[in-house]
Structure 1
């Protein structure tokens, strides 16, 4: 069992591990920086592997952390603004014993201090619609399952990448498409600390186009339906910057451009 932590420009990584309550838990911390780094540096602690990486981008960080995990490990996705509960390992172990056929298990994270909350999903199998309600930091998985089907994060998506977000939903859609079994285990494993978000949620034509590309990457057959549901469901959120019809137009434009 290992926690895969992504962090950017964090001054004291050892302090970060303590703040996240991971000092007694195996972890792999990928430390990226906006400053140029000539080579990747690996440092080993008692329970943590710290990688000072040359890469940049959230999905790049996730994949790099995954590459350092043992193939039989259960991996937990994490950002540097989480605080894990004391009995985290016990909860995860219990969940995988209860669902031994699970390839991926989604847990509950307290998003009280986050701009967008996530619901507590019912215990059991997850569908494509359920996957759209999951944040990346809720996701745990068997690395062996990812290796078996060649699954990883699409590095074109996520903070610091071309499309800025959507990486977790794309990952879960890919997993379901490859036949992996996804479950929800709605027990709290962590809370989110209050901090400034790196996610650009502004209502601009370019962000609408990016959202359209995300939906096209999720499903080439039903992307137009996802675009319509978003435009209708979030129409009040977009106003007055962008009308519902302009939102649909820009998202379809982004989907078409992504196809090329």
Structure 2
């Protein structure tokens, strides 16, 4: 079993329209010259140019839109044994890199997920207090900046983010869940480590439970899992909206169910419905 060091970890960041590294200094809470971590940035932009003169910070320009496309490009160009997926609006906790590396030295799992805290210091979710191995249910709430992995297994099995999912894609959510489902589908283990590594705002783009964007993606996810049962899950999701009090209008709930079923149908049929590239910072 290899022994990893901090120099064996590469942080993969997808961002947009960046022309300087001020966002990186905010993430690390350090000046650019003080950042010792290995960082690979994919900068999606049609006109902004980001150039690094630092050996430990690499930048790949990208003209196409899509969060999953950026992450896949980063994985394909990563060079270190360990990788950590990060969003450009996260704050990295002190000693987070050491915690990630130590965990990968302790556990053989291909993927290890960690904890996120909000700016108030509270856990983003009600995380368990001890290590456990994920199953198809426990991976559902995992956030992208909580995902770290051993690169060799991921690359050898050609595991990538499904580019139909994620911001900027046709189905603008659920890309992390689809990726982790693929990992489990290859009989690889995903472990949870009760260590905090990143800070993120309490609200994410996946919290818009009533948005057609999210519901359409959830429908696609249901269609991906099982086209036959997708209709059942459309009823289940609408009942969830009603039960939780998010929406009580029957006409609105009917519309949401149709959006869900359309997402499932479009995924199964491969139909590419026109949409706006809503890639958010």
Q: TM-score interval w.r.t. the shorter chain?
A: 0.7 to 0.9
1:29 lines up with 2:41 in the alignment: yes
TM-score normalised by L of structure 1 = 0.83
Instruction: Find out whether 1:93 has 2:105 as its counterpart.
Output: no
| Alpha-carbon separation, structure 2, partners of 1:175 and 1:242 | 39
Aligned to 1:167: 175
User: Secondary structure in 2 aligned to 1:31?
Assistant: strand
| Matched residue SS, 1:234 | helix
Partner of 2:115 in structure 1? 108
Report if aligned partners of 1:28, 1:49 keep a CA contact under 8 Å in 2.
yes
Deviation at 1:143, TM superposition (A): 1.4
Once the two structures are overlaid, the 10-residue window that deviates more, 120-129 or 224-233, is 224-233
Query: 1:225, CA displacement in angstroms?
Result: 5.6
Worse-superposed segment, 45-54 or 77-86: 45-54
Instruction: Please say which of residues 162-171 and 219-228 is displaced more in the overlay.
Output: 219-228
1:48-197, aligned counterparts within 5 Å? 48-70=57-79, 73-100=81-108, 102-112=109-119, 117-121=124-128, 122-192=130-200
C-alpha deviation, 1:118, in angstroms: 3.4
The unaligned stretches of length 5 or more in structure 2 are 1-8, 270-281
Work out which of the residue numbers 240, 265, 270 in structure 2 matches 1:256: 265
CA offsets per residue over residues 16-65 of structure 1, 9 Å max, x none? 222111712111011112x357xx98645132112222222111110111
Contact persistence 1:118–1:134 (CA under 8 A): no
**Structure 1 residues 63 and 44, CA gap change in structure 2 (3 angstroms):** farther
In the alignment, structure 1 segments of 5+ residues that lack a partner are none
Compute the TM-score of the two structures, normalised by the length of structure 2.
Answer: 0.78
